[in-house]
Amino acid sequence: MELTLNQKLSLIQKEFKANKSKFNSFGKYNFRSAEDILEALKPFNEKYQVNFTITESMVESQFLQFPMLRSVASINDDLDTITASAIVGVDLEQKGMQMPQKFGSASSYAKKYALGNLLLIDDTQDADASNKHEKNVSNDEKKFLNKNTPEFNKAIEYIKNGGNFTAIETKYKMTKEVREELINLSK
């Protein structure tokens, strides 16, 4: 009996494993990129006679204050198609990046999350896995996080890659201006 596309996708979701080949030096954690996910999917193309594709488009709206990208990840066979999407904003104010890098970064992020939605990838960790059992650092022991420093740039990169503002706040003291900028990035 021939499997339906839903059955094939269910089996792929169950079998799928992708390495976390990238390392975030600010948050000190490994993560997987869209490229890691796509590479891990290749064996399933032949095994289940399916194809995975990703399409991207700009989201058009007169109400948007900045560009938005939509990424749609699809699995299809000869009979059917299943899709999942993700929408991300392009930060045009990101310092240290040329315009193509700003769009490329947003594109990679959108692809990763569209694929994650399609494949039911859960990147969260349980509390025991992420708990380093370190003592809490008092506010007096924390260093200040200042704008235009390598630490500040790492904090921005960390948040843009899905990091949590609270992790930064537990490590650094910061001015109201720095706090608000980082919180706005995490929204």
Crossing angle of helices 34-48/5-15, nearest 10°? 130
- DSSP secondary structure string for all residues of 31-60: E--HHHHHHHHHHHHHHHT-EEEEEEEEPP
Does pLDDT of 24 surpass 90?
A: no
pLDDT at position 140: 58
Write out the two tokens for 118.
Answer: 């399609």
Domains detected in the chain: 1-124 (3.30.390), 135-187 (no CATH)
10: pLDDT confidence band, cut at 50, 70 and 90?
very high
Helix (H, G, I), strand (E, B) or coil at 28: coil
Show the CA angle centred on residue 18, arms to residues 34 and 126, nearest 5°. Answer: 100
pLDDT of residue 12: 96
Residue 140 burial (CB < 10 Å; 0-12/13-18/19+)? exposed
Tracing tokens 């990101």 back to the chain, one arrives at 94
Mean pLDDT of the chain: 84
pLDDT at 25: 79
List the 81-89 sheet strands across, edge first: 51-58, 68-76, 81-89
Q: What confidence tens digit (pLDDT) does each residue in 61-97 have?
A: 777 888 999 999 999 999 999 999 999 998 888 888 8
Report pLDDT for 124.
53
Q: What angle do CA 92, 96, 101 make, to 5 degrees?
A: 60
Q: Does 174 or 108 have the greater pLDDT score?
A: 108
Q: What are phi and psi of 129, to 5 degrees?
A: -70, -35
pLDDT tens digit string along 139-168?
556 788 888 887 888 888 777 777 777 778
* pLDDT greater at residue 56 or residue 136: 56
Q: What is the DSSP string of 115-175?
A: HHHHHT------HHHH---PPPPPGGGSEE--TTSHHHHHHHHHHHTT--HHHHHHHEE--
* 187 CB neighbour count, 10 Å cutoff: 7
Q: In whole angstroms, how large is the CA radius of gyration of the chain?
A: 19
